[in-house]
Structure 1
Amino acid sequence: MINFPNTISGLSRAETALYRRLLRRLMHKRQRNRTRSAYYDGRNELRDIGYALPPIAKDIEIVVGWPEKAVEELATRVVLDGLTGIAGAQLADTVRDLMDENDLIQTAHSVHADSFVHSCTFVAVLQGDPDAGEPEAIIQEFTADTATGEWDKRGKRLSSALLFDTDDEYEHATIMYLMSYESTIVAIHEGNAWHVIERIDNGSDRIPCELFAFKPDAKRPFGRSRISRTVMSLTDSAVRTFLRSEMQAELYSVPPRYFLGVTEDMFKDDDGNLIPKWKLMLDQALTLPADPATGEKPEVGQFSQYSFQPHVEQLRQTATMFASHTSLPPDAMGVLTDNPSSADAIDKASKDLCLLAENCQRWYAKPWQRIIERAQQVAGPDGQASPVACQWRNPATPSRAAAADAAVKLVSAGILPAESDVTYDMLDLTDSQRQTLRAEQARARAQNAIAQLKAQPSEEAADEPEATTGTPQGTRTALGQGAPELSEQS
């Protein structure tokens, strides 16, 4: 567990008050964030309700990956494919460099998934050190278990943020960033103490950090976690069901027996030790002597075999409730039915998930645009930034044939131009594919222009015999018309 410092040398009184206020907020939410991370990683502890499981069950590890499924199913539909210019403008080379240097596509996937787990995550723009091989502007994510902030309701933005950078093992904090409207304070851990090493003037009405919140509203601007209390409760129920079925599976193939008229001495081996119960249950042939005192023969009976059906039905009901709460199709939960789901049924089950993914695109579009614009100001020599727009993948994931058919119909009807970005969005083309198409279109236009220039001299040569008869065309026409008059006079 990461230990955060209580005091940092070099902070003023006001900065210390801000730091401690944000640190209390971070520690207050820390335990809940750790619990959700445990469910996402499949490390949640068994919650025994007291009477259904024996004590030995606590040593059995059962992992149910439903929380991870709920997060990943939505994250695969909220995909940032790239960035485009505004109103048909070309994307600046600075933006392309920022995307490549910061691996923005992969970073965006991590940001979206972490916001689903913890309800929110933070992305900051930091100044890099080119001499150390870093880019001019660094776009870095800070998860909610290592970062927090204060929300400005009037300005609809973060008014301050506390961010901790950690080592690769995620065990020790190494760098601290304290951001406010005025400046960004950088502190590091050296020896046994923390101290400030740099102050950077923000020079803007926004701090260089953006909040990515899932399902934000006026009451909870930092969003809500997709791993909600309902998700955790249903997961606990599924774990208990799996555990009961695993314990019953040990005896599922062996029907229970009962014995009448036996004594304990009849179940001892030659050395006088009691024969284990599991061996008695698995013995194919069981021999028991008669009682020497009474001469009565023992009676062996058998109960009906246990059935797995109650566990299967309970697990199916739990999975159905989980799928309904998370807007997942039942097939994604591993619930099998006698009649497979049709294509229309699958589309209907995924409709709510697609609508939720479209809302996520709206929630995350503005923060990404501000992050890229801020990174341009940090990386650019003149501090200027060109506006950009996010390019999202269609959350419905239609087939290539269906998308192409819809695009062809709109282009044929004259509603969309063939080379429009909207048409490319409908075809679900990636940013690299769009760049290739635009380069080929520019090459084709250049070749057409060259062909037209080559055709002009040939056209002028075709008109040249008429122009080289010695007299203008108008003079020839007048002479031709006056020739009969000359012959009459002669």
Structure 2
Amino acid sequence: MSGFDDFERVSFSKPGMVSGLPQDAADTLGMLFDEWSLHYESNLMRSTYFNGREKVRNLAVSIPDTLARRVNSMVGWPAKAVRALADLSQFEGLACDGDDTLGLAGIAYDACLDVTVQQAVTSAYKHGCAFLASYLDADGTPRVMCRSALMSSALWDMERQEPASAMTITGVDAKTRQVTSLMLFLPGRAFDVRKSEGRWTATGIMQAYEGVAVTPVCSDPQLDKPLGRSMITRPLISYTDAAIRTLVRMEATAEFYAVPKLWFLGLEDDAFDTSSWSALVSSVNSITRDVDGNVPQLEQVQQASMQPHADMLATLARMAAGETDLPVSDFGIISSNPTSAEAMAEAERKLTRRADRQNRLFARAVKRALGIAWCARENQPRLPDLSAYTPVFASTREESAGARADYFQKVASVSPSYASTDIAWRQLGFDADSARVLSSASRGQQALDGLTALLGDNGEGAHDVDEAGAEAGAQSGQGGQTGVQAA
């Protein structure tokens, strides 16, 4: 896809006649385009706020527009709200209860889901949803492509609770900002639609899966909003606009605050033979008497205080903090009284509860997308049994290494097989690859202990069966039981 930024406008005229596209598919493409156009402005606005490129919405009461346009004030609260929650949705890999017979781990690795899923999560929090498109590449490799809602649209099937069709833009001309290519996904069909010399042409894409090969990644889906809602809510946008106006007023007030306002009574206009700035910065100034011999009177007007602006900005920050479930200190407002540990823990609990709920939704989306990719590779129309697979996200809570180790030890003492699972080692704080190695070594040790007990040599012959036991444990998810059977 041609490179472009979220905040740059894209021009896309509804395709008329598309060569090679059936009429029903062309009608669906038209409806998808209308859906995309309906939400494009709001999605573009949220990208603008996320990227800190929002413009001041001046009320033109105390600050003239000419001055407001010259002040380049920005507030990063929308990006803070999105990233704070997205940081709690770190995808770590795919766990499997037993052998990976479907080979989904390889598909996830080839698709770089450990990186792209995080991008999809951030995009979902920004626009309300993102999309995972699964398809078979030209070389026969299954792919999972992450797409933003800014460049995609979908029609929702309320009966089946899944997309009825989807469209995603894949190419934009860097100079004209015109859309040059897109992909259309229909039940059991997919098309690569491209524009060349002013004409649109569609090419069918091989798809074995009987449904729509697109999976939505949604933020806070509701019954009336199945494709989710953005973390950059309308109240947060309103608070951000008010904060920007407050910063503009502060800038204007600071200019007047920096220069004392002086009035000379009984003084002619031509009394100053130098510029006003030179008179202000000079250490010694003199003024002559008037024609009547009177000395002019000097009056200094009291400067406007900056405190009301700071108080208003702090109030807006507290309102934004309440809207996003973030502590007010994250918005740069530091109270003279430090926040209590209980208040900080309560703010963290609100955010982690929301992240835990979201991670369950994200995990289901990742699993479904990988299942559709498997269908593309194996030429199967329906999803396989995916119950043995679990997409794993990092813990949303900050826990000390000692607390995790204590939990591990207590659970393993009750259920020894717990120490042989990848999940246990991930909960202990290791990454997915390290957890896989450690759990394999634990299973090998259990297999070795089983062989040793069966041979009855009290461990003296352990070295003779070490390789056999380790191999048996590495190939089995049942620990020592499999080692005994192998012996």
For normalisation by structure 1, the TM-score amounts to: 0.83
CA contact (8 A) 1:92 1:386 kept: no
Q: Residue 72 of structure 2 aligns to which amino acid in structure 1?
A: E
The answer to whether residue 166 in structure 2 is matched with residue 161 in structure 1 is yes
Gapped regions of structure 2 (runs ≥ 5)? 1-8, 462-487
Counterpart CA distance in 2 for 1:148 and 1:199 is: 19
Residues 463-482 of structure 1 mapped to structure 2, 5 A cutoff: none
Q: Deviations over 1:362-390 (max 9, x none)?
A: 22222111101111222347888562211
Partner of 1:53: 63
Q: 1:233/1:82 Cα in 2 relative to 1: closer, same or farther (>3 Å)?
A: same
Match of 1:389, SS state, is: strand
Q: Deviations over 1:376-419 (max 9, x none)?
A: 22234788856221112111232322222333333345598333
Partner of 1:338: 336
Partner of 2:53: 43
Partner of 2:110: 101
Counterpart CA distance in 1 for 2:126 and 2:193 is: 28
Partner of 1:485: none
How much identity, in percent, do the aligned residues show? 24
Q: Deviations over 1:436-463 (max 9, x none)?
A: 1123224434554676688769999xxx
Q: Residue 3 of structure 1 aligns to which amino acid in structure 2?
A: S
Match of 2:144, SS state, is: strand
Q: Residue 122 of structure 2 aligns to which amino acid in structure 1?
A: A
Q: Deviations over 1:411-430 (max 9, x none)?
A: 34559833345534532432
Counterpart CA distance in 2 for 1:396 and 1:174 is: 44
Match of 1:221, SS state, is: coil
Counterpart CA distance in 2 for 1:413 and 1:168 is: 62
Partner of 1:410: 411
Q: Deviations over 1:123-142 (max 9, x none)?
A: 10121133xxxx70111112
Q: Residue 59 of structure 1 aligns to which amino acid in structure 2?
A: R
Counterpart CA distance in 1 for 2:435 and 2:102 is: 15
How many Å apart are 1:268 and its aligned residue? 4.0
Residues 296-375 of structure 1 mapped to structure 2, 5 A cutoff: 296-375=294-373
CA contact (8 A) 2:136 2:206 kept: no
Partner of 1:183: 189
Partner of 1:211: 216
The answer to whether residue 47 in structure 2 is matched with residue 19 in structure 1 is no
CA contact (8 A) 2:452 2:458 kept: no
Number of matched pairs: 446
Residue of 72, 81, 95 corresponding to 1:70? 81
Q: 1:419/1:454 Cα in 2 relative to 1: closer, same or farther (>3 Å)?
A: closer
How many Å apart are 1:82 and its aligned residue? 1.2
CA contact (8 A) 2:421 2:439 kept: no
Q: Residue 318 of structure 1 aligns to which amino acid in structure 2?
A: L
Match of 1:250, SS state, is: helix
Q: Deviations over 1:457-484 (max 9, x none)?
A: 9999xxxxxxxxxxxxxxxxxxxxxxxx
Residues 283-302 of structure 1 mapped to structure 2, 5 A cutoff: 283-291=282-290, 293-302=291-300
How many Å apart are 1:169 and its aligned residue? 5.6
Cα RMSD of the aligned pairs, angstroms, is: 2.8
Partner of 1:111: 120
Q: Residue 111 of structure 1 aligns to which amino acid in structure 2?
A: A
Q: Residue 39 of structure 2 aligns to which amino acid in structure 1?
A: K
Q: 1:457/1:78 Cα in 2 relative to 1: closer, same or farther (>3 Å)?
A: closer
Answer with 215-224 or 303-312: which moved more: 303-312
CA contact (8 A) 1:416 1:423 kept: no
Counterpart CA distance in 2 for 1:195 and 1:27 is: 21
Q: 1:458/1:84 Cα in 2 relative to 1: closer, same or farther (>3 Å)?
A: closer
Q: Deviations over 1:173-207 (max 9, x none)?
A: 34321111131111122232220122434442x21
Q: Residue 247 of structure 1 aligns to which amino acid in structure 2?
A: A
Match of 1:314, SS state, is: helix
Match of 1:417, SS state, is: helix
Q: 1:415/1:308 Cα in 2 relative to 1: closer, same or farther (>3 Å)?
A: farther
Q: 1:333/1:445 Cα in 2 relative to 1: closer, same or farther (>3 Å)?
A: same
How many Å apart are 1:37 and its aligned residue? 0.5
How many Å apart are 1:9 and its aligned residue? 2.2
Q: Residue 308 of structure 1 aligns to which amino acid in structure 2?
A: M
Match of 2:52, SS state, is: coil
Residue of 4, 12, 36 corresponding to 2:12? 4
Q: 1:169/1:436 Cα in 2 relative to 1: closer, same or farther (>3 Å)?
A: farther
The answer to whether residue 199 in structure 2 is matched with residue 193 in structure 1 is yes
Partner of 2:430: 429
Residue of 250, 253, 266 corresponding to 2:255? 250
Q: 1:450/1:199 Cα in 2 relative to 1: closer, same or farther (>3 Å)?
A: closer
Q: Deviations over 1:111-151 (max 9, x none)?
A: 11101111111110121133xxxx70111112112111111
Answer with 359-368 or 305-314: which moved more: 305-314
CA contact (8 A) 2:168 2:183 kept: yes
Counterpart CA distance in 2 for 1:397 and 1:89 is: 29
Counterpart CA distance in 1 for 2:335 and 2:222 is: 38
CA contact (8 A) 2:129 2:218 kept: yes
The answer to whether residue 267 in structure 2 is matched with residue 259 in structure 1 is no
How many Å apart are 1:228 and its aligned residue? 1.0
Partner of 1:147: 152
Residue of 133, 138, 141 corresponding to 1:136? 141
Counterpart CA distance in 1 for 2:256 and 2:72 is: 19
For normalisation by structure 2, the TM-score amounts to: 0.84
Counterpart CA distance in 1 for 2:214 and 2:318 is: 39
Match of 2:164, SS state, is: strand
Partner of 1:477: none
Answer with 379-388 or 18-27: which moved more: 379-388
How many Å apart are 1:104 and its aligned residue? 0.3
